[in-house]
Amino acid sequence: MKRNIIHTDRAPKAIGPYSQAVGAGGVIYLSGQVGLDPATGELVGGGFEAQARRVFDNLRTVAEAAGSGLGAAVRVTIYLTDLAQFSVANRVMAEYFSEPYPARVTIGAAALPRGAEIEVDCILVP
């Protein structure tokens, strides 16, 4: 099966040995994004909500680079270092997705890369 590697300079570059997204078999797999500013490569300031918005902005940018969008999401996974932020994550996610919503999993994580408070990955079927 042929893999299509997706990359855009408008989203943070990978901070490890992975691609921003990979398309294969009509499915696009978006790697996890944390709240890194693509221009600086640093975690955005402003707390959890600012990080969450940056995460979804980054995912949207990668989805667009793949020729798709978040409306094609069938599965979203959210990792939170503080599950008390669950309602904020829901509110922010609702700004980026509309009904019918994708399937979703939310996982409490002890720590995330770069000290992030939230990471999100996504699967798209355009």
Give tens-digit pLDDT for 21-48: 999 999 999 999 999 999 999 999 999 9
Q: How many CB atoms lie within 10 A of CB 4?
A: 12
The DSSP-derived string for 60-98 is HHHHHHTT--GGGEEEEEEEES-GGGHHHHHHHHHHH--
CATH number of the domain residue 53 falls in: 3.30.1330.40
Q: Count the domains in the chain.
A: 1
Model confidence pLDDT, tens digit, residues 66-107: 999 999 999 999 999 999 999 999 999 999 999 999 999 999
Cis bond before residue 100 (omega within 30° of 0)? yes
Taking the model in full, what pTM does it have?
0.96
pLDDT at 1: 85
Q: Which residues pair with 104 in a beta bridge?
A: 76
Tell me if residue 24 falls in helix, strand or coil. Answer: strand
Domain that residue 89 falls in: 3-124
- What mean pLDDT value characterizes the chain? 97
